[in-house]
Copies of this chain bind each other. A is one copy, B any other.
Amino acid sequence: MRTISTAIVGLAVSIGLAGSVEAQSARSDIEAALVTFTKAFNAKDAAGVAAHYTEDAAILPPDSRRVDGRDKIQQFWQGAIDGGGSDLALEAVEVSESGNFAFEVGKFSLKAPGKDDNPVDQAGKYIVISKKGTDGAWQLYRDIWNADPATQQ
């Protein structure tokens, strides 16, 4: 009995560890992707930003229509870059993983031209659903964000 109990405990520990290693992997992969996403945006590389999305991804920007497909998403980010967006920063506050999906609740900040074209700090929050490809890499599948309350300038 002792041997069986030990084996069961061993199995439970193995399953527990496997679970947490996988969750850790999603979080570290997603955090690494945040770094390359922001680097691409801040280098004005819209194609580099778009490469983080699945081919069939969709973004849901505030005060804008839903944008479907990586090519259209690249055009959207090109527009944001051409419009003077800069200094993007992203922070994953929560990452949860379930099968081939992960969802992430986060915060962003960037500078964008305000009145008189002076750069204004903007901040907000987002939810991203990522999908794990057959190669094991996570890519953004659905992406929605909105602004925090306006701060006094």
Contacts and interface: CB of A to CB of B under 8 A. Distances in A.
Contacts of A103: 101, 103, 129, 142
Interface in A29-70: 58, 60-66
Contact of A148 (B65, B101, B127, B150): B65
A105 B149 CA distance: 24
Interface string A142-153: 101111111000
A14 to B, nearest CB: 19
Contact of A125 (B129, B144, B149): B144
Interface residues of A, number: 27
A134 interface: no
B148 A146 contact: no
B125 A127 contact: no
A96 interface: yes
Interface string A101-119: 1010100000000000000
A144 B147 contact: no
A67 to B, nearest CB: 11
Contacts of A58: 105
6 contacts: A61-B146, A66-B125, A105-B142, A125-B144, A127-B127, A144-B145
